[in-house]
Amino acid sequence: MRRDKVAEADAEKCIGSPEFERAQAGGIMEAWTTYREGFLKVVYDPLRSNTFVITVTVKKKSPDWARS
């Protein structure tokens, strides 16, 4: 979050109302939303008592699996 200067509130918003979302192995979730001139990708574990964010990344394009 520091490298791309993403605010914690933006990551929380992405988790709360993603434009694209899918499950990964082990119950890990991947949430995407439009952000600045690209997309914000947040990978998190919703199975913990408090939502545990694993990564927050700014991407230029939407995920391939969401374009079809």
Q: Render each residue's pLDDT in the chain as its tens digit; 68 residues.
A: 566 688 889 999 999 999 999 999 888 999 999 998 899 999 998 887 676 788 888 888 888 888 76
Q: Indicate the pTM of the whole model.
A: 0.80
> Strand 52-59's sheet: what is its strand order?
20-23, 29-35, 38-45, 52-59
**Which whole-number Å values give the CA distances from 30 to 35, 39, in the listed order?**
15, 12
> 26 in helix, strand or coil?
helix
